[in-house]
Structure 1
Amino acid sequence: MDPHVVFDCQKIVSDRFALTMAAAARARALTRGAEPRLDLPGASATNLALHEIAGGAFRQDELTPFLSGSASPARLPAPNSKSTELRGDGASSAAPAPVSSPQEAVH
């Protein structure tokens, strides 16, 4: 992977995590048979995805899900009160681990 391509990609998608997610999504699509947007014979799906991002082969709405602050963050549902209750008397059913004696050798 050419570091200059990654540098050019960061001009489009400044967050490295978002860039990784966008490139991985495009590489999966290419692996599943999506039509390449650039002609780079012999390039792997990952390198082709990065070259496509660096070359501006994407519309802004295609990159929007990967850009920070572009959409509302996904939130986990609030826990219901029944799932946070302890079972039984609240005591653990696991047996305590035996304490090792100082005479035991650890190998």
Structure 2
Amino acid sequence: MARVTVEDCLPLVDNRFALVLLATKRARQLMAGARPLIEAKDKPPVLALREVATGKVRFDRPVRAALAGQYDNEKLPATPPRR
């Protein structure tokens, strides 16, 4: 089977850093017992990358409008000043 590379996944993800976060989270889900979304006999990190490369797993960024009002500055504790 062909080797999965970062370049195979980048067209589907914003950048390399988002890809690392996505693949790591999915690999951890697979190690915890989640069912694979594709047929492959690879270890969880490679399987996670294959799932990303095939478009089965994607990274959803939260929409600002959906988060508007969710965090109110008045409800957040004050941060102590740096020394």
Q: How does 1:32-51 map to 2 (within 5 A)?
A: 32-41=32-41, 43-51=42-50
Change (3 A) 1:38 1:85: closer
Change (3 A) 1:48 1:84: same
Unaligned runs of 5+ in 2: 65-70
**Secondary structure at 1:63's aligned position in 2?**
coil
Aligned-partner Cα distance in 1 for 2:33–2:77: 39
Shift of the alpha carbon at 1:14?
A: 3.1
In structure 1, the partner of 2:81 is 84
In structure 2, the partner of 1:5 is 5
Unaligned runs of 5+ in 1: 87-107
What is the RMSD computed on CA atoms of the aligned residues? 2.8
Shift of the alpha carbon at 1:63?
A: 1.6
* Greater Cα radius of gyration, structure 1 or 2: 1
Q: Identity of aligned pairs, percent?
A: 31
Q: Deviations over 1:27-64 (max 9, x none)?
A: 000000000011111x1100000000001113xxx521
TM-score where L is the length of structure 2:
0.69
